[in-house]
């Protein structure tokens, strides 16, 4: 097993900072990558941060994480969280632990966000702490 933690981000997360800042905050995805890199170094880990608006890319990257022996995957699947049986199956198809991450707390929002196909398959979930959700998920990954 390697010390690499994949951090996979789904649709519309490339627009963080601009996108509904009252919900998602003003930090960009690059800002979050910087915070994660600093903390990862302290924890003796490396992060590989990626974003795609395409469901299949997220699936391919999870297969890749399994193939390369990654330590864990942190997955913020954005809206695919609530729709994607394919992502659910991909999580179940790999041995690499997957931690679900959300900036907001979907359970306090619209009803259509209350179902998580990702959460039903993930090792655990962290949501509602803004950018800190990613840092908390990294801490959890370090302790696996």
Residues near ligand DQA, by CB under 6 A: 12, 76, 78-79, 81, 102-104, 106, 113
The residue among 3 and 57 lying less far from ligand DQA, judged by its C-beta, is 57
CB 107 within 8 A of CB 74: no
The catalytic residue among 6, 24, 80, 134 is 24
- Told to judge if 134 belongs to the known catalytic residues of this protein, a careful annotator would answer no
The residue among 3 and 123 lying less far from ligand DQA, judged by its C-beta, is 123
The residue among 47 and 75 lying less far from ligand DQA, judged by its C-beta, is 75
Q: How far is the CB of 3 from ligand DQA (least distance, A)?
A: 25
- Told to judge if 102 belongs to the known catalytic residues of this protein, a careful annotator would answer yes
136 strand-pairing partners = none
Residues 6+ apart with CB under 8 A from 44: 3, 142
Q: How far is the CB of 108 from ligand DQA (least distance, A)?
A: 10
The catalytic residue among 80, 102, 117, 134 is 102
Separation between Cα atoms, residue 111 and residue 130, nearest integer Å: 20
Separation between Cα atoms, residue 118 and residue 9, nearest integer Å: 13
CB 131 within 8 A of CB 35: yes
Q: How far is the CB of 94 from ligand DQA (least distance, A)?
A: 20
CB 139 within 8 A of CB 72: no
Annotated catalytic residues are 24, 102
């Amino acid at each position: 097993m390697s010390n690499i933690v994949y951090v996979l981000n789904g649709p519309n997360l490339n627009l963080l900072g601009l996108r509904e800042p009252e919900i998602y905050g003003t930090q960009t995805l690059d800002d979050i990558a910087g915070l994660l890199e600093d903390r990862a170094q302290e924890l003796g880990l490396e992060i590989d941060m990626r974003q795609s608006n395409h469901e299949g890319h997220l699936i391919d990257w999870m297969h890749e994480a399994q193939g390369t022996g990654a330590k864990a995957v942190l997955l913020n699947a954005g809206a695919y969280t609530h729709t994607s049986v394919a992502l659910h199956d991909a999580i179940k198809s790999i041995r690499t632990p997957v931690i679900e991450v959300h900036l907001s707390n979907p359970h306090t929002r619209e009803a259509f966000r209350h179902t998580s196909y990702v959460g039903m398959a993930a090792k655990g979930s962290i949501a509602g702490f803004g950018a800190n959700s990613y840092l908390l998920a990294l801490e959890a990954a370090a302790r696996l």
